[in-house]
Every structure is written in C-alpha cells, then in structure tokens.
C-alpha cells in the first residue's frame, strides 16, 4: 500500500478504544468527544492508532507518515497507550494510576526502579503521575515499578551533575 496520506482511514471501532481507556484508566469518553481516531488499515507492519482533533484530517495532497498523536502502536487487545498519549490525556485518570512525589519521579525518569505492588492482576500498563505532571506509562515487573522513559527525557529535566548536587544521582 502507498505510504501517502490517502492510506489513512478512520479507525473502524473507536468505541473499543474508548471503552478500554475508560475501563483501564477511568478516562471518561467526554475527554475525547472532540477527537477522532485514524489508522492505516492495509499496513502490513504495526498498525498504530492516532488520535486527532475532529477538525483535522490527514491531508491527501501531502505525504505524511503520522497524523496527530500516536495513541497506540497497535490496536487492542495487544496494543496499549503510548507514554506521549498518557502525558497529554492521563491527568484526569482515576484508575491504575501510580502517584509519586517529584523526587521519586526524577529517579524513575533516570531509569531507576522502585518497589511497588501491582494495582491489579494484569500488572499494567499504569499511568505514573507526579504533583507536577503525568510522567508516562509504567509497568510493575517483579514487584518493581518501571517507567517507559524515552532516552531524551531525562536530559530535558536536569543534567545528571545538577541531580547529583541535590543528592538524587543514579
């Protein structure tokens, strides 16, 4: 299939994703009322699902690889929300949220793990949230909370030398 924007299609069952987000995280559908979901149905590789404001649609005359914000890299049941999506929409979550203080959040951003019991039988994904912001997607593995941290994020927060000065160096 062509990689141009004409290959984008509205996601065929948005209700499935809205139900998942509501069941897993307590994110009410009203939060997404002005958004639509798109994907590339014929793509042989992963089939990411993008969330886009209702007034926006993939342009047909310009080739684009992505549109909007990647919600999932593949649809349910195997897919789960990206950290970028959870950072944007996860603040009002009421379920499967791990609230941490800012110092713990910084340690998690530097790929440290903290002891934490799973919040449910599924073991994740979870929303990791600090008083300042949603940090992203986390998992509890073998009794340890792990944050999916893109490599560039820690360097945007505070250089390691400054972190060492406040006693939080990894």
Q: How confident is the model at residue 52 (pLDDT cuts 50, 70, 90)?
A: very high
pLDDT band for position 160 (cuts 50, 70, 90): low
The parent domain of residue 79 ranges over: 8-90
CA-wise closest residue to 151 among 166, 136, 129: 136
Q: Tell me whether residue 168 is in a domain.
A: no
The answer to whether residue 1 is domain-embedded is: no
- 77 domain-assigned: yes
Query: What is the structure's pLDDT at 158?
Result: 57
Domain end residue (candidates: 90, 109, 141): 90
The separation between CA 39 and the C-alpha centre of its own chain, rounded to angstroms, equals: 17
| Angle formed at CA 107 by CA 161 and CA 164, multiple of 5 degrees | 20
pLDDT of 59 over the 90 cut: no
Task: Note whether residue 167 is domain-resident.
Answer: no
Strand 97-99 and strand 126-129: the pairing is parallel
Q: Which of 90, 124, 145 is the last residue of a domain?
A: 90
Q: What is the pLDDT of residues 98-127, one digit of tens each?
A: 999 999 998 898 888 999 998 888 777 999
Residue 148 has pLDDT above 70, yes or no: yes
44, 65, 90 - which closes a domain: 90
């Amino acid at each position: 299939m062509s990689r141009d924007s004409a290959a984008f299609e509205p996601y065929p069952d948005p209700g499935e994703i809205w139900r998942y987000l509501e069941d897993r995280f307590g994110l009410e559908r009203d939060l997404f009322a002005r958004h639509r979901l798109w994907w590339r149905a014929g793509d042989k590789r992963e089939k990411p699902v993008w969330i886009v404001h209702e007034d926006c649609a993939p342009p047909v005359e310009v080739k684009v690889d992505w549109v909007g914000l990647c919600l999932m890299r593949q649809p349910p049941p195997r897919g789960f929300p990206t950290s970028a999506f959870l950072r944007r929409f996860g603040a009002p979550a009421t379920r499967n949220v791990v609230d941490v203080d800012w110092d713990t959040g910084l340690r998690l951003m530097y790929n440290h793990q903290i002891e934490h019991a799973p919040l449910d039988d599924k073991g994740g994904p979870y929303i990791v949230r600090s008083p300042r912001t949603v940090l992203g997607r986390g998992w509890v593995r073998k009794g340890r909370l792990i944050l999916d941290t893109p490599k560039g994020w820690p360097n945007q927060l505070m250089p390691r030398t400054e972190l060492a000065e406040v006693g939080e160096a990894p």
